[in-house]
Amino acid sequence: MTLPRNPILLAAVSLSFALAAALAQPATVGEAAGGQEAWKRLFDGKSLAGWKSAGYIASGKVEVLDGAIVMGIGERMTGVTYQGKDFPKMNYEVVFEGKKIEGNDFFCTTTFPVGDSFCSLVVGGWGGQVVGLSSLNFMDASENETTTSKEFKTNQWYQVRIRVTQNRIQAWIDKERLVDVDTTDKKISIRFECDNCKPFGFCTWGTKGAVRDIRVRSLTAAEIKEAATAK
């Protein structure tokens, strides 16, 4: 026996299926969930594809272990540099996880573009606790207005987030905002030791460190406006 078709009921069922399918689709094009621009993964968790050792003299070994890029202890610095040509210069946010494995100095200091200049977020420098930007008006992370301190435990992952806009650099470690500086009329630069990490990369000093889950995205117009009006 064939049941009579109810066109209103059929339309409602079809609409329900369409809505369910739309909600199930990942936000990978244009905007991600929550209205953010989509994230781009820079590290596949399996190989150094798209990356290379920063080439410091007498550096430690750079390798992929357990889904992370591991920078071994060298005589001084060990680093890794992103080789892609697609890294943004302005109005972006980059996020990753970093871990100190062995040693007592910086373990995932990050060099990144700021327009046509570059800056570095020092993570655990000067004996293991200093966080800040190097350099602002030629002053290091240990001596400018962004200088702060944080205890970093060995073998604990920390999420680091850096946001760059026209006149502001912000940085968070886990959910704590440690850097928020107006860069208007400030000279932004890096120490010469970090040249090897340009345009984007990580380095350690006498310390074994690891990074993983490295992602970058462009900021939305609303986020750019928010940063411009921040006090």
Determine phi and psi for 209, rounding to 5 degrees: -135, 165
Q: Establish if 159 belongs to a structural domain.
A: yes
Q: Does 214 have pLDDT greater than 80?
A: yes
- Residue numbers of the domain that contains 155: 38-229
Q: Establish if 16 belongs to a structural domain.
A: no
Report the side by side order of strands in the sheet with 77-82.
Answer: 51-53, 77-82, 201-205, 109-114, 117-125, 130-134, 148-149
Q: Establish if 112 belongs to a structural domain.
A: yes
Please state the domain count of the chain: 1
pLDDT digits (tens, 9 = 90+) for 147-188: 999 999 999 999 999 999 999 999 999 999 999 999 999 999
Give the model's pLDDT for residue 152: 98
pLDDT digits (tens, 9 = 90+) for 187-206: 999 999 999 999 999 999 99
**Which helix (H) or strand (E) segment is 52 a member of?**
strand 51-53
Residue range 100-108: mean pLDDT, rounded: 98
Q: Establish if 161 belongs to a structural domain.
A: yes
Specify the pTM.
Answer: 0.85
Mean pLDDT of the chain: 88
Residue range 11-38: mean pLDDT, rounded: 45
Residues 208, 108: Cα–Cα separation, whole Å: 9
Q: Establish if 22 belongs to a structural domain.
A: no
**Three-state secondary-structure class, residue 45:** coil
Give the model's pLDDT for residue 228: 87
CATH code of the domain in which 126 resides: 2.60.120.560
Q: Establish if 3 belongs to a structural domain.
A: no
Q: Establish if 68 belongs to a structural domain.
A: yes
Q: Does 115 have pLDDT greater than 80?
A: yes
Q: Establish if 9 belongs to a structural domain.
A: no
For residue 231, name the pLDDT band (cuts at 50, 70, 90).
Answer: low
Q: Does 4 have pLDDT greater than 70?
A: no
Q: Where are the beta strands (DSSP E) in 146-207?
A: 148-149, 157-165, 168-173, 176-182, 201-205
